[in-house]
Amino acid sequence: MAKTRKERRKSPRFVITKSVLYNQANRLASAQTADIGSGGLRIISDLPLRKGDAFDFLVILEGMGLKFKGTVIHTTSVEDGRIVAGISFNEDSSLSIGLLDDYLRSHIDDFPRVDGPLDLDQLPPHSPEF
């Protein structure tokens, strides 16, 4: 049976699967985005993340490096050992959020919109870290 969460997003998110780098406890780590929007993103990581963790991260969209500061607002463990984490962008990220909004507006028809909680049975396959 699929596990789902109650929808709480204030802005739309889009299914965009990209690599993301983040700095957690002075350690560079990589993960994969599951979806992204102007309020935050959801990542899939092999490393443990906890609600309340804050970190800097970098998402590359078509050659454009977007730097964000974010806070983990929820996590879910997946059967294959990965962690799915919802990240809320901090106010310090306003420049990158503006660039992301521009990118999403110009590609609005290119990516499916997330219309509810993530179905954990439909996560992208595990991809090797880079």
Rounded Cα gap, residues 64 and 58, in angstroms: 10
Rounded Cα gap, residues 36 and 127, in angstroms: 18
pLDDT band at residue 42 using 50, 70 and 90 as cut-offs: very high
The greatest distance separating any two alpha carbons of the chain, rounded to the nearest whole angstrom, comes to 40
Judged against a pLDDT cut of 50, whether residue 130 lies above it is answered with: no
User: Which domains are delineated in the chain?
Assistant: 13-112 (2.40.10.220)
Q: Residue range 49-62: average pLDDT? A: 92
Q: Residue range 49-63: average pLDDT? A: 92
- 25: alpha, beta or left? (left if phi > 0; alpha if psi -120 to 50): left
The pair of three-digit structure tokens given for residue 64, joined into one six-digit string: 């454009």
Q: Which of 102, 118, 36, 104 is nearest to 70 (CA)?
A: 36
The pair of three-digit structure tokens given for residue 53, joined into one six-digit string: 């963790």
Residue pair 55/67 in contact (Cβ under 8 Å)? The answer is no
pLDDT band at residue 1 using 50, 70 and 90 as cut-offs: very low
At 79-125, the pLDDT tens digits run 889 999 999 999 889 999 999 999 999 988 889 888 766 666 556 65
Of 6 and 74, more confident: 74
Give Cβ neighbours of residue 12 (< 8 Å, ≥ 6 apart). 37, 113, 114
The pair of three-digit structure tokens given for residue 85, joined into one six-digit string: 């984490």
Phi and psi torsions of 61, nearest 5°: -120, 110
Three-state DSSP state, 27: strand
